[in-house]
Amino acid sequence: MGKEFQGKLEQLDANRWRIPAGSVPGMRVDGIIYASEPLIAEVVSGGGAVQVANVATLPGIVGASLAMPDIHWGYGFPIGGVAATDVEAGGVVSPGGVGYDINCGVRLLRTDIPAADARRRLRDLVNQLFRDVPVGVGVGGAFVFDGDRMRRLLADGARFLLAEGLATEDDLAATESGGRLDGADPDAVSETALRRGADQCGTLGSGNHFVEAQVVEEIYDAASAAAMGLETGKLAVMIHTGSRGLGHQVCEDAIRMLRGAVAQYGIELPDAQLVCAPVESPQGRQYLGAMRAAANYAWANRQLLATQIRRTLARFFAGDPDALGIRQVYDVAHNIAKIETHQVAGRARRLCVHRKGATRAFPPGHAELPAACRDVGQPVLIPGDMGSASYVLAAADRAMRETFGSTCHGAGRVLSRHAAIQAARGRSIEKELAAQGIVARARSREGLAEEQPAAYKDIDAVVECVVSAGLCRKVARLRPLGVIKG
């Protein structure tokens, strides 16, 4: 399928663009793209607008087919895409609206450790993290889950680790959905997926996954930052990873299974990568059961990584984790489909909300938020590239009204991995980062090359767009000190 956009694109305001329903055949709703003028050209040239229009053809879709300013080309859905389908009106669920890395997400740890102390021994700290955290393609770790223990982990997610002494109630409270989705079905996960995941819970993986030591550089909203435990000049650690090989296999299995469902239910699609089935169909329930299990695995994965990193920091800085103030700020999912109730045309409707490369953003007062943040809104964690910055935002009321409680998830790629590696020929990304005072370790030169800063959009521009659009408020800016990658 080509990436050339043939439809109409109308500018609604400084941060929103509309593809009117009907301007591309089969669209049931409008497409709405959140992007500033400097960002929209790449959205169109990169094919994102085509995929937004294609998603608007899905049965049961309501509101609009949405895209965040970090949008780029993905499998079926664009990365940065959001779509909600009405469960009671034959709405579908699509693996392309979740992606292969189910519940890829971000966890942020705050500390009382002065970043200046980390800088003095930064290379040693990064090397220690690189030794302690398993990284790389197919790499396993110290934790092995099989048989009944794997079934319990898939059913209960991070909560399963509570009895193992590898999680706390505070960790779970500061995790989206408490680190567990109801309705997970371990029986829907294939033996191949189970084998792939047996020793990968508690590992980072490769690609754009990372552990990053950061300094809280700037506070924009003092009250929200205080509620989240963020202080300028203090060390923070950000973890970005997902469900590893298990989640990838769950997606692969589902796409194969759902190809027949499209014809069975008479669904017409402009792109075969949008394979789907009604949420309430046997195939839809099977995929959701397996997807929820993979999401639970991902929350357990980030929980185990956080536990290992707490231990590393405690040893490195010769202190108790509690005395060092090592606590979780929040954990958010990026690639997930969840059944939620939202207002549509003045009526509460039960929806299947797909967020692919998009972050849940629930506003102040929402019952699902932890008590510490309920008055300020959900923490939204937005990682940038290795050389710039990451942001902590707070969700605003407008996100619930306009985007089914969703916002961007990162900077968003502008170069494919292959193009980024080509662009890095003859250069040392490690040395370029070192010249900025950033220590980077990876399994290979290609790992750093494909994730180089030039491969991503300007994180400041992406964040400014969702803030100007009223979806979020800026809370804090975090600057990278050191990073490990696969």
Strands, DSSP E only, in 201-260?
210-219, 234-241
Query: What end-to-end distance do the CA atoms of the chain give, in Å?
Result: 31
Handedness of CA 464, 468, 470, 475 (dihedral sign): positive
Closest to 439 measured CA to CA, from 382, 383, 386: 386
Does 409 participate in catalysis according to the annotation? Answer: yes
Contact indicator for 78, 356 with CB cutoff of 8 Å: yes
Written as one string, the DSSP assignment of 274-330 is G--EETTSHHHHHHHHHHHHHHHHHHHHHHHHHHHHHHHHHHHTTS-TTTTT-EEEE
Chain position carrying tokens 């396993």: 140
CA 322 to CA 341: how far, in whole Å? 38
Contact indicator for 243, 295 with CB cutoff of 8 Å: yes
CA 15 to CA 218: how far, in whole Å? 25
Q: Which of 354, 366, 409, 418 is catalytic?
A: 409
CA 299 to CA 201: how far, in whole Å? 9
Residues facing residue 107 across a β-bridge? 239, 331
Pairing state between β 472-485 and 359-360: unpaired
Here the tokens at position 311 are 């231990």
Chain position carrying tokens 């050389």: 387
Task: Give the residue numbers annotated as catalytic, written as ranges.
Answer: 409
